[in-house]
Amino acid sequence: MPQTERSRDQKTREDPAPLIVVTETGGRSLVTALDREAELTGLTMGMTLPDARAVFPAVVVVPADPAADAALLDRLVAWCGRYTPWAAAEGRDGIFLDVTGCAHLFGGEAAMCADLTARLESFGFTARAALADTPGAAWAISHFGESGTVVPSDETRETLARLPVAALRLDPATVSGLVQVGVRTVEALRNMPRAPLAARFGDVVGQRLDQVSGDIREPISPHMPVVPFRARLAFAEPIALMADIERGMRHLLDDLCQQLAQAGQGGRRLVLTLYRVDGDVFDITVGAARPARDPDRLARLFGGRLSGFEPAFGVEVMTLTASVTESMAPVAPALSVAMRHVTAPDAAFCGDRLAPLIDCLGNRLGFDQVVRLAAIESHLPERMARARPALANAVTFAWPSLPPRPLRLLRRPERIEASVPEQALQASPERFRWRRTDYEIRLAEGPERIAPEWWTDDGAAKTRDYWRVEDMAGRRFWICRHGLLRPGESAEWFLHGLFA
């Protein structure tokens, strides 16, 4: 059990005292795990703490930590991905593996079981494993049979027949009730009529019998989503040099991209998983702005992320999966020269030429931090564009054809003090003062009139006249006047953007 083995690591080799793990249940302290030394002294699971100390006063007591046990079990489930992507936790101390089509990679089913238990024992765990046609049968044999047993399909019934009824994953009360009526083995239970069993113990007994025999399917929910595009590479000896890891990654990329090409797909999110010799598992995830299956391009994305990986004693298995894919069908050539310029609204930003840049920025900063300006159905400068994630769907509205706009647009127009000749009230200012600095205008172009949006209920909105002006130092500004001037009225001037 993970709790027991983790606690055993806290003992020194010079301390042979038995160790037990205690859980508080119903106001009582019960033994829920114990090591081999504790078993040899006569301690058993389910004993109360006073009874355990009465048997062996010097026993070492460790309080249970369910959260740590669950986290450790999750790590072991992730580590089992080196054998099959279809791994799931079972209860508090078990793991189900669906190894269909995977055993041949390890020299057969028996060799796979032996390798699995040997590696777990090298990490300090006590492990028992069995392989059968159904999850229920494998669980029964691993807990009540001989560890490492591989049950042929035609021998499942015979192998289970002599096991106790507790091997069917029944609760202790049901097991005790069956034993009291003389039913001690799976075969004896199988020979009893179902109706009396259901009347006394409910449907769970018949359900467990059907699950262990395969009459009722017992699906396994994998720890990670099982993806159709996956490449795996195992090494005869662990590799620890970064150059070797990069070569292994490139081999996986070539294999995966070939799979994607055959299916007409491109990867949007790829996960490289590295299994270290010490049992630690590391995932490196990269994303792509557009579906991709170019090994060179994808290798550059992984290159920057691999620099922070520490191989320690070496990597023994590497896997590469395409967790998110999209169709990447060939694009038909344009029928005419005119059609070549017809593109999607967002093609200028997310086209093939900018996709590598978006990939680099997104994987370094996070794709939610890379944005684009999307056109909004408005002609007011501060409303006509909105920042959206670079990977968002195509915009609804195309960019309108407009006169030149400033590179930097202020969040809102800022008031300026403008000096306009009295004889030319409709002209641009000769000079203006903005943020305590005076600017003398040399050139001006305009006006460009922008009226308020009549469909919005904003009575304070005014018509604006915009000028593009340049001062004596060559700095260019975008200034505007609010409202239509009438005789005797003074204008309000604002600065809305800077061209450089």
- On the question of pLDDT at 190 being above 60, the answer is yes
- On the question of pLDDT at 383 being above 90, the answer is no
Q: What pLDDT does residue 483 have? A: 75
Give the bridge partners for 164, in sequence order: 185
Q: What pLDDT does residue 289 have? A: 80
Amino acid at the residue 324: V
- On the question of pLDDT at 411 being above 60, the answer is yes
Nearest-angstrom CA–CA distance, 366 and 364: 6
Which two three-digit tokens encode residue 293? Answer: 């299956």
Q: What pLDDT does residue 312 have? A: 87
Closest CA to 98 of 56, 145, 135: 135
Section 316-340 average pLDDT: 71
Nearest-angstrom CA–CA distance, 184 and 353: 72
**Which of 124-138, 156-170, 476-490 shows the lowest per-residue confidence on average (mean pLDDT)?**
476-490
pLDDT band of 317, cuts 50, 70, 90: very high
Section 61-75 average pLDDT: 90
Section 296-312 average pLDDT: 85
- On the question of pLDDT at 11 being above 50, the answer is no
**Which of 107-111, 261-265, 361-365 shows the lowest per-residue confidence on average (mean pLDDT)?**
361-365
Q: What pLDDT does residue 458 have? A: 61
Q: How far is CA 30 from CA 25, 37, 61, 67, 408, in A?
A: 7, 18, 11, 18, 70
Which two three-digit tokens encode residue 216? Answer: 């009722």
pLDDT band of 424, cuts 50, 70, 90: low
Nearest-angstrom CA–CA distance, 261 and 263: 5
**Which of 239-243, 262-266, 481-485 shows the lowest per-residue confidence on average (mean pLDDT)?**
481-485
Nearest-angstrom CA–CA distance, 123 and 417: 76
Q: What pLDDT does residue 9 have? A: 45
- On the question of pLDDT at 23 being above 80, the answer is yes
pLDDT digits (tens, 9 = 90+) for 125-157: 889 999 999 999 999 999 999 999 999 988 888
Give the bridge partners for 449, in sequence order: 465
Q: What pLDDT does residue 341 have? A: 42
Could you tell me which residue, 240 or 308, shows the higher pLDDT? 240
pLDDT digits (tens, 9 = 90+) for 224-234: 677 789 999 99
Q: What's the pTM value of the predicted model, to 2 decimals?
A: 0.63
Section 29-34 average pLDDT: 88
Q: What pLDDT does residue 343 have? A: 41
- On the question of pLDDT at 346 being above 60, the answer is no
Q: Give the rounded percent of residues in the chain with a pLDDT score beyond 90.
A: 32
Could you tell me which residue, 129 or 401, shows the higher pLDDT? 129
Q: What pLDDT does residue 2 have? A: 43
Section 168-194 average pLDDT: 90
Q: Which domains does the chain have, with CATH numbers?
A: 2-64 (3.40.1170.60), 68-213 (no CATH), 230-327 (3.30.1490.100), 331-402 (no CATH), 408-498 (no CATH)
Closest CA to 464 of 442, 485, 441, 444: 485
pLDDT digits (tens, 9 = 90+) for 245-282: 999 999 999 999 999 999 999 998 899 999 999 889 99
Nearest-angstrom CA–CA distance, 315 and 380: 58
Closest CA to 17 of 56, 50, 47: 56
Sequence-ordered strand ranges (E) for 163-225: none
pLDDT band of 435, cuts 50, 70, 90: very high
Section 470-488 average pLDDT: 84
